[in-house]
Amino acid sequence: MLDLGAESTRPGSAAVDATTEWGRLEPVLAALRETLPHIPLSLDTRHAAVAAKGLEAGICVINDVAGLSDPAMLELAGGSSCGLIAMRSRLQGEGFLMPPYDDPAPKDASLAAAELLEVRDRLREAGIDDHRVLLDPGFGFGTTFAEDLALWNALPRLPEALAWPANRVCIGISRKRFLALKAAEPGLPPLQRDALTAAAHAEAMAWGYRVFRTHALA
């Protein structure tokens, strides 16, 4: 599946309004539907208006980094049959809470796991069937390295804690600074992190995880 987005969620990125976001996406979606009609498309957006237009344009999955916290997005999802990727994150106004990533304060995975449970329960309460959903732990979204590391180390136990199968969890750690710091190579540029990404994916696969957001398929 090809995942498309037109709003950066990197730390410090400015929010993008729905009109601008759709203006960027519309020609790309149209071209992909014409040239790659058999490739399923996922739309990475937190705007319900953009998601609605994407569904009309043929996307099959809504990937919401805000965990469908917007009631309009939740209503849209409930009224459709598309797949959903719902990520745990920490919002701050129109953007995302992004603490200093190298904060040395000790952290465990309890808060992130509780937030992921909130996402799960939000969708269930809206009547959305579990089998339509992939939960995303949201590595790097409002977390420090210490918390991400604790969350990574908790992955073998996370399915039991969530009462949610590992094969319906989407792991998004591709090329992230988490991998460079975990490997004690903090200066390693993102484009040189694919080997670390592949190794992390293999480790997660050994724990039963099967869905990954990645920049390189090799």
133-to-18, 33, 184, 212 alpha-carbon distances in Å: 24, 24, 34, 14
Residue 128 to residue 131: CA distance in whole angstroms:
9
Residue-range domains of the chain with CATH: 55-212 (3.20.20.20)
Residue 37 to residue 54: CA distance in whole angstroms:
15
b/e burial code for range 126-152 (CB count within 10 A of at least 16 → b): eebeeebbbbbbbbbbbbbbbbbbbbb
Decide: 150 and 105 in contact? Cβ < 8 Å. no
**Placement of tokens 């980094």 in the chain:** 65
DSSP state of 31: H
Residue range 176-185, pLDDT digits in tens: 999 999 999 9
Nearest Cα to 76, choosing from 96, 89, 61? Answer: 61
Residue range 145-165, pLDDT digits in tens: 999 999 999 999 999 999 999
Average of per-residue pLDDT across 165-172? 98
Nearest Cα to 68, choosing from 120, 16, 3? Answer: 120
Torsion of CA 7, 12, 15, 20, to 10 degrees: -50
Average pLDDT along the chain:
95
**pLDDT value for 20:** 96
Nearest Cα to 65, choosing from 14, 125, 139, 1? Answer: 139
Q: Hey, is 176 helix, strand or coil?
A: coil
**pLDDT value for 91:** 84
